[in-house]
Amino acid sequence: MLKVKETLRKSIHLSSLVIPYGYRFILKDNRKLMFYVMLSAFAIMLVVEFYRFWQKSFRKTFWWIFGLVLRRHELRDFTGAPDLLFSAMLCVAFFEPVIVFFALSFLALGDTFAAMVGINFGRRKIGKGNKSLEGSLACFAVCFSYALLFGLHPDFYLHPVVAFTGALAATLAEMSGLPVDDNVEMPLVSALAMALAKIIF
């Protein structure tokens, strides 16, 4: 049951691709507008989170709707949504649009495939927690392949070394085991790594 629940949770996690794709294709890389959209979404999510802590009936309804994909500790703690929106907001504020696109895509794709492969096929545990070598390799392979594929298009051009650096940084962040949510750590670390790499390449 746990495997099914985590696999479903991470499958839904893919829906966060709407953020980088919306930024790129709907808002046309309008940084100011995207920042305010993310700020508003973050503020609304915080209100929802605090309200469910305060209002018992709403908390029960929230758990009834989302309980299948929530972890037990999220009944009394924040879900990953505010963290994701907060990191997206910071990425938009401090990094150029093409880097934001890939950093947030790495989170949606890399974290999802790392979990799904790790849960279902992971045999070699690495680092702290429940990370596996198979899951981490899947994370890197998906992120690097994705960056190379999109990087072929002139509107998304990313030097292969920059793509490699970003994918590797995202993977290391995902497997680090640090007490920082992946939704914050992965996009910010990979975005910073790509920004530094772009100075050279």
pLDDT of residue 61: 76
How much is the average pLDDT of 48-70? 74
- pLDDT reading at 2 higher than 60: no
Spatial separation of the C-alpha atoms in residues 111 and 134, rounded to whole Å: 13
More confident site: 73 or 165 = 165
The residue range of the domain holding 128 is: 2-200
Whether the pLDDT of residue 92 is over 80: the answer is yes
The amino acid occupying position 131 is: K
Placement of tokens 């950093």 in the chain: 103
Please answer whether residues 23 and 97 qualify as being in contact, where contact means their C-beta atoms are separated by less than 8 angstroms. yes
Domain count for the chain: 1
d(Cα 42, Cα 153) in Å, to the nearest integer?
A: 31
Q: Is the pLDDT of residue 123 over 90?
A: no
| pLDDT category of residue 75 using cuts at 50, 70 and 90 | low
CA atoms of 69 and 149, how far apart (whole Å): 31
CA separation for the pair 72, 70 (Å, rounded) = 6
Average pLDDT over every residue of 52-80: 71
Convert 119-180 into a string of H (helix), E (strand) and C (coil): HHHCCCECCCCCCEHHHHHHHHHHHHHHHHHHHCCHHHCCCHHHHHHHHHHHHHHHHCCCCC
| pLDDT at site 124 | 83
Rounded CA separation 11/5 (Å): 10
| pLDDT value of residue 18 | 96
If one counts every other C-beta atom within 10 angstroms of the C-beta of residue 27, the result is 15
The model carries a pTM of 0.89
The pLDDT value recorded for residue 8 is 67
CA angle 196, 180, 187 (to 5 degrees): 35
- Percentage of the chain exceeding pLDDT 70: 85
The answer to which of 6-15, 106-115, 131-140, 181-190 has the lowest mean pLDDT is 6-15
- The pLDDT, as a whole number, for residue 142 is 97
* HSE (side-chain half, CA atoms, 13 Å) at 90: 17
* 123/95: higher pLDDT: 95
Q: How many residues does the chain have?
A: 201
